Chains A and B, each alone.
Chain A
Amino acid sequence: MTETIIQGLLLGGLYCLFSLGLSLMFGVMRLTNIAQGDLIVAGGFAAISVAPLVGGHFVMAGVVLLPVAFAVGYALQRTVLNRTLGKDPLPSLVVTFGLSIVIQNALLEIYSADPRSLDAGELATGSLNLGGDIYVGTLPLLILVAALACTAGLQLLFSTTSLGRAFRAVSDDREVAELMGLNSAKVYSVATALAFVLIALAGLFQGLRTTVSPADGPLLLLFAFESVIIGGMGSFWGTFVGALVLGVSQQVGFKFDPGWGVWFGHLVFLAVLLVRPNGLFPKTKG
């Protein structure tokens, strides 16, 4: 059982990275990014394409990719997504849904339906022995540590920096924040840019840990969504815990029967919705 839970926590680390971007965009501008999963897959493919150009190592691919993701996120929010924001949540949903279809088909066109993965070298099979018969893969552990660092970093950014204050201000009341001299369009763009960096990181890790193929996106979105809802909207630590809960639930499901893993995750998600409709640690209302 210990091993099941450890593996579940490690899986949860990956789900946390999937969902932080979603949580950030929702927290700041109430925008639900339906294209989240497809963007992660696109990030994975981008890393796979970039890696051979920078010497094949995934760290270098990340160094190149993350700033690009920042720029893409900023530009996308500035030119497209800002136009969809308003009292009505529907336009942003429809636009990101459309984006999701565009990305899937573009990836299929460029990369075909073949699943691909990013070469992790030694890291692919490296492991630490935790005593006895329990081993922890280096790569999954690295992913969990990265998830922890990203969550802590985001929380710190929100609570202690002026940028974080700006995020919270436009989130609480956009009109008043603008009266105080904040340019909400700019603040939103920075938030999306940060979310895209997290998405690219998640794609990179997904490509390293398993494989990515163009049709994977919707399932990743579902896991991200479930993590955010279980944890509670708008809280990064909530998202982190939600992702771990989802990872452990799936792993426990797999333990009972190999066909039950994902289903068990859905069950726990529904149970949380029934018992605590706002999630475990809700920060944002509405």
Chain B
Amino acid sequence: MTVNHIRRTLLKSGAAVAATSLAAPWVRAAGGTTFKIGYVSPQTGPLAAFAEPDAFTLEQVRKAVAGGIVSGGKKYVVEIVYKDSQSNPNRAGAAAAELILRDKVDLVIASSTPATTNPVADQCELNGVPCITNDAPWQPYFFGRKGDPKQGFEWTYHFFWGLEDIIGAFSSLWGKIPTSKAVGGLWPNDEDGNAWGDGKLGFPPVLASKGFKVVDRGRFQSPINNFSSFISAFKGAGVDIVTGVVPPPDFANFWNQAGQQGFRPKIVTVAKATEFPAAIAAFGDRAEGLTVELMWSPAHPFKSSLTGQSARQLADAYMAASGKPWTMPLGLKHSLFETALDVLKRSGGKDPEAIRNAIRGTSLDTVVGHIDFRKGPVPNISKTPLVAGQWQKRGKGLELVIVDNSQAPMIPVQAELLPIKYG
């Protein structure tokens, strides 16, 4: 029976191959006027907050390209294939492989933390498919993928800020009010945590040189449901400033347990976790005063190359359409599609090398800043500006306002930094 079954399967797949090769000329004809963009994003899982604006962005982009785009004098239909990474690096890699091998996309884009960008970019590099990613600091992206600063990568490009920006922004921010200058680190054992907490390239050496004392208990496995050993170490060392890069559910655990155990830092600047209004809303009043890096806000003086909207208008359109507060990934997702479409318009056709060359030649003002992969600190990288913000009371709710612009003076500061108040 097994033998029969195998034979039948063979026959079937043989027939399928025959059918495909027969149909091939027609497929190629249709494919010739369609640009397929594959998009990988963490729709579910601990990183799902990053993907919140996806539905809005996709609708906006599909509307913008509804009439097709012109490239090399020819009109192309743009099709977007959207895949979920489930916040899991293995799933993200598999999704990219599916896009490349099954959907045969012309360009892969991905966004939101190295857990998404790195496996996707690795798949593209391996298969020779052009790829643009963002929303992950460039060091974990570049060095996490064993990039060589002399050579760079062949097919994969990335735009975002780097650790030097966030370290600069955070340390400038922490110098604004008097503290014990003792900094507690929450750096998990993942691409971000390992890069940020790295003894040579990460926070600890720079902070030490700026007169801060770093309390680093080492990398921990996320998800973690018990932070009491961290809290008692921080209390013991007189920590006034807590920093790190932690997924929202882990930070919720930390912040609740800090409350339970009477730990009251003056400044809490934890990346990832407090970037999102939904995560912040869950803390109620206890979110007031939390600080976070800010890579995009309605106050950024940039506008979209796709829709012509200013950052403020983009945020307003999102809030009107979704009924939710604006969130940082909105600008980043939008800019990712801005760049992708700009590249396809300049590529002149579907040839992967032409598309890759178009990415190399990018010089585009997007809603998150100027993108140019030739001017980065290492090949394949373009840097976008970073400031720091604080959740402050405005009217009844909390709003994220810019309190430090030391790394990007073109973006104006909106308010003074305030220490966290404890009732």
- Which A residues fall within an 8 A CB radius of B? 3-4, 7, 11, 112-115, 117, 119, 124-127, 129, 133, 135-140, 209-211, 213, 250-251, 254-255, 257-259, 261-262
Q: 1/0 contact trace for B305-335 toward A, CB 8 Å?
A: 0000000000000000000000000000000
* Contact A133-B235, Cβ < 8 Å, known A114-B44, A114-B48, A259-B221: yes
Residue B286 lies at the interface, judged by CB distance under 8 Å to chain A:
yes
The answer to whether A259 and B261 have CB atoms under 8 Å apart is: no
* Contact A127-B230, Cβ < 8 Å, known A115-B223, A257-B218: no
Interface centre among B48, B88, B228 (most CB of A within 10 A): B228
Residue B117 lies at the interface, judged by CB distance under 8 Å to chain A:
no
The answer to whether A254 and B229 have CB atoms under 8 Å apart is: yes
* Contact A251-B45, Cβ < 8 Å, known A125-B256, A125-B286, A137-B260: no
Q: 12 pairs across A/B with beta carbons < 8 Å?
A: A7-B232, A113-B87, A114-B46, A117-B252, A126-B259, A135-B261, A136-B260, A211-B223, A211-B252, A255-B229, A258-B229, A259-B221
Residue B127 lies at the interface, judged by CB distance under 8 Å to chain A:
no
The answer to whether A254 and B226 have CB atoms under 8 Å apart is: yes
Shortest beta-carbon distance from B329 to chain A in Å: 16
Residues from 37 to 59 in B contacting A, C-beta threshold 8 Å:
44-46, 48
What are the 4 A-B residue pairs with the smallest beta carbon separation, nearest first?
A: A125-B259, A137-B260, A258-B220, A210-B225
Residue of A nearest to B225 (CB): A210
The answer to whether A129 and B262 have CB atoms under 8 Å apart is: yes
By a CB distance below 8 angstroms, the chain B residues around A124 are 256, 259-260
Interface centre among B229, B252, B261 (most CB of A within 10 A): B229
* Contact A135-B226, Cβ < 8 Å, known A113-B44, A124-B256, A211-B252: no
By a CB distance below 8 angstroms, the chain A residues around B257 are 137
Q: Measured between alpha carbons, how far is A126 from B260 in the docked complex, in Å?
A: 5
Q: Measured between alpha carbons, how far is A232 from B232 in the docked complex, in Å?
A: 32
Shortest beta-carbon distance from B44 to chain A in Å: 4
Residue B249 lies at the interface, judged by CB distance under 8 Å to chain A:
yes
The answer to whether B229 and A127 have CB atoms under 8 Å apart is: no
Residue B357 lies at the interface, judged by CB distance under 8 Å to chain A:
no
Residue of A nearest to B187 (CB): A258
* Contact A258-B259, Cβ < 8 Å, known A7-B228, A211-B249, A251-B228: no
By a CB distance below 8 angstroms, the chain B residues around A255 are 229
The answer to whether A251 and B229 have CB atoms under 8 Å apart is: yes
Residue B219 lies at the interface, judged by CB distance under 8 Å to chain A:
yes
Q: 1/0 contact trace for B206-245 toward A, CB 8 Å?
A: 0000000000011111011110111010010000000000
By a CB distance below 8 angstroms, the chain A residues around B252 are 117, 211
Residue B9 lies at the interface, judged by CB distance under 8 Å to chain A:
no
Shortest beta-carbon distance from A250 to chain B in Å: 8
Residue B86 lies at the interface, judged by CB distance under 8 Å to chain A:
yes
The answer to whether B260 and A259 have CB atoms under 8 Å apart is: no
By a CB distance below 8 angstroms, the chain A residues around B230 are 258
Q: Measured between alpha carbons, how far is A138 from B235 in the docked complex, in Å?
A: 19
By a CB distance below 8 angstroms, the chain A residues around B253 are 210-211
Q: Measured between alpha carbons, how far is A182 from B88 in the docked complex, in Å?
A: 51
Interface centre among B224, B225, B249, B256 (most CB of A within 10 A): B256
Shortest beta-carbon distance from B48 to chain A in Å: 5
Residue B180 lies at the interface, judged by CB distance under 8 Å to chain A:
no
* Contact A127-B226, Cβ < 8 Å, known A257-B217, A262-B221: no
- Which B residues fall within an 8 A CB radius of A? 44-46, 48, 86-88, 189, 217-221, 223-226, 228-230, 232, 235, 249, 252-253, 256-257, 259-262, 282, 286
The answer to whether B229 and A4 have CB atoms under 8 Å apart is: yes
The answer to whether B259 and A7 have CB atoms under 8 Å apart is: no
By a CB distance below 8 angstroms, the chain A residues around B45 are 112-115, 213
By a CB distance below 8 angstroms, the chain A residues around B261 are 127, 135, 137
The answer to whether A258 and B218 have CB atoms under 8 Å apart is: yes
By a CB distance below 8 angstroms, the chain B residues around A11 are 226
Q: Measured between alpha carbons, how far is A257 from B229 in the docked complex, in Å?
A: 9
By a CB distance below 8 angstroms, the chain B residues around A7 are 226, 228-229, 232
Interface centre among B86, B235, B262, B286 (most CB of A within 10 A): B262
By a CB distance below 8 angstroms, the chain B residues around A133 are 235, 262
The answer to whether B225 and A209 have CB atoms under 8 Å apart is: yes
Interface centre among A114, A254, A258 (most CB of B within 10 A): A258
Interface centre among A4, A125, A133, A211 (most CB of B within 10 A): A125
Residue of B nearest to A115 (CB): B249
Shortest beta-carbon distance from B20 to chain A in Å: 32
Q: Measured between alpha carbons, how far is A11 from B249 in the docked complex, in Å?
A: 18
By a CB distance below 8 angstroms, the chain A residues around B189 are 259
By a CB distance below 8 angstroms, the chain A residues around B48 are 112-114
Q: Measured between alpha carbons, how far is A11 from B33 in the docked complex, in Å?
A: 60
Q: Measured between alpha carbons, how far is A49 from B118 in the docked complex, in Å?
A: 35
Residue of A nearest to B217 (CB): A258
Q: Measured between alpha carbons, how far is A254 from B260 in the docked complex, in Å?
A: 18
The answer to whether B256 and A259 have CB atoms under 8 Å apart is: no
Q: Measured between alpha carbons, how far is A121 from B45 in the docked complex, in Å?
A: 24
Shortest beta-carbon distance from A198 to chain B in Å: 20
Q: Measured between alpha carbons, how far is A4 from B236 in the docked complex, in Å?
A: 13
Q: Measured between alpha carbons, how far is A11 from B217 in the docked complex, in Å?
A: 20
The answer to whether B226 and A261 have CB atoms under 8 Å apart is: yes
Residue of A nearest to B228 (CB): A7
By a CB distance below 8 angstroms, the chain B residues around A115 are 45-46, 223, 249
Partner of B260, one of A140, A213, A258: A140
Q: Measured between alpha carbons, how far is A215 from B126 in the docked complex, in Å?
A: 30
Q: Measured between alpha carbons, how far is A137 from B223 in the docked complex, in Å?
A: 20
By a CB distance below 8 angstroms, the chain A residues around B228 are 3-4, 7, 251, 254
Q: Measured between alpha carbons, how far is A213 from B48 in the docked complex, in Å?
A: 13
By a CB distance below 8 angstroms, the chain A residues around B225 are 209-211
By a CB distance below 8 angstroms, the chain B residues around A258 are 217-221, 224, 229-230
Q: Measured between alpha carbons, how far is A160 from B223 in the docked complex, in Å?
A: 42
By a CB distance below 8 angstroms, the chain B residues around A139 are 260
By a CB distance below 8 angstroms, the chain B residues around A126 are 259-260
Q: Measured between alpha carbons, how far is A11 from B259 in the docked complex, in Å?
A: 17
Q: Measured between alpha carbons, how far is A254 from B231 in the docked complex, in Å?
A: 11
Q: Measured between alpha carbons, how far is A139 from B87 in the docked complex, in Å?
A: 30
Partner of A138, one of B86, B218, B260: B260
Q: Measured between alpha carbons, how far is A230 from B317 in the docked complex, in Å?
A: 58
